[in-house]
Amino acid sequence: MRVDRRWCILRSLLNGVVPTFNYLMSNSTATASAAANIALVKYWGKASIGNNQPATGSVSLGLEDLRTTTTLEYATGNQDTFDTELDDKARKRALSFLDRVRLNHQITQRLHMTTANNFPTGTGLASSASGFAALSLAFNALFNLKLAGSDLSRMARLGSGSAARSVYGGVVELIPSDDAYAIPIATAEEWPLDVIVAVTEERPKAIGSTEAMIQTANTSPFYRSWLSSHADDMTSAKQAITEKDFGKLADTSEHNCLKMHATMITSEPPIIYWQPATVEIMHEVRALRSSGTPAFFTIDAGAQVKIVCLPSATDTIRQQLKAITGLKRVIVTRLGGSPSVTTS
């Protein structure tokens, strides 16, 4: 960490004297793959909006097979360019993120970006998490910044709060502070789990998470209780992970998820992400758990239900889900999601 800071100071000094110093040290292309993650104890609410400082801590699982792959190389002109069809909002977010991280690292080079998700975008499947994590990893590699994990996590957080967790795989904790970053707390190998993503809505969500968080914080009578009861959920989830206590993790995660949605539903105007199939699946998962199947649900800012289970239960759950009307499709993945980076 100390070495990295010195390196940054030296880099910025040299950059003033020799403007091309960054480019001499950098690679010509960098490709990064980062996975989406789902929070079991959620980040919902911002302590500072511009910097995506979370008002709460969070604990997440990396989803091995839901990934964004992003390549960065130098743009030929004096503008950032994209190889990929991005809607206006996504393009603006990517551009303002690039401007910000370039400024932080005294880099002026314009970039050409190619990016693809292997899962639906903007529907509550954490595409912003994998997207900004992959972009941060590629940026770090292209310019050979050699950032420590905590600083990469901080960089990704500037794009989206949950992206701070996607720079690692496995079980990850996001620690709130005035410059919040995430740390890995368990590997996928320590506790193999499966996640079944039940897609109940393929269309993009009506309201994005930042806007929804602000509306909730400003208008829900339950937002204060959400904040004040959050630390107990964090303690309980981390304990359950250390002890591999599936029942405790199930109870804590469902409770935390429903509290988060309660603040949304009670905001003005209300934010209701659920579809009828979302609710049906919640009932189904609870019934399965009551009859001994190790499974629980969680839902983020969208209609999709993520079912976390022991791998021995995956097939049974998939079979049960077939009866749900309104279920569009399922994606099954294991816990994992370590990022990968290549340069040339």
Which residues contribute to the site for ligand PMV (CB under 6 A)? 39, 42-44, 58, 128-129, 160-162, 209-210, 300-301
Strands (E), the chain: 29-41, 46-48, 53-54, 58-74, 81-82, 111-117, 171-175, 181-186, 194-199, 295-298, 305-309, 329-334, 340-343
Give whichever of 70 and 162 is closer to ligand PMV, judged by the CB atom: 162
Range 41-63 burial, b when 16+ CB lie within 10 A, else e: bbbbbbeeeebbbbbbbbbbbbb
Tokens of 119: 């899962």
Closer to ligand PMV at the Cβ: 43 or 296? 43
Amino acid at position 5, single letter: R
- Residue 103 or 207 with smaller CB distance to ligand PMV: 207
**What would the two tokens of residue 225 be?**
């209780």
**Cα radius of gyration rounded to whole Å, the chain:** 20
Residue 121: CB minimum distance to ligand PMV, A: 12
Q: CB 280 → ligand PMV: shortest distance, Å?
A: 21
Minimum CB distance to ligand PMV smaller for 44 or for 143: 44
CB 85 to ligand PMV: min, Å: 21
The tokens for 30 are 């960098």
Q: How far apart are CA 224 and CA 119, in angstroms?
A: 34
What tokens appear for 99 in the block?
């401007």
Q: Hey, what are 115's tokens?
A: 């990016």
Question: In the complex, what is the shortest distance from the CB of residue 111 to ligand PMV, in angstroms, rounded to a whole number?
Answer: 23
What 3-state DSSP class applies to 113?
Answer: strand
Task: Determine the residue type at 174.
Answer: L
Nearer residue to ligand PMV within complex by CB, 160 or 320: 160
What is the smallest separation between the CB atom of 24 and ligand PMV, expressed in angstroms? Answer: 35
In this complex, which beta carbon is closest to ligand PMV, that of residue 194 or of residue 300?
Answer: 300
For residues 137 and 288, which CB has a smaller minimum distance to ligand PMV in the complex?
137
The tokens describing 179, both together, are 């410059």
Q: Parallel, antiparallel, or unpaired: how do β-strands 295-298 and 340-343 relate?
A: unpaired
**Nearest-approach distance from CB 81 to ligand PMV, in angstroms:** 25
CB of 15 to ligand PMV, least distance (A): 31
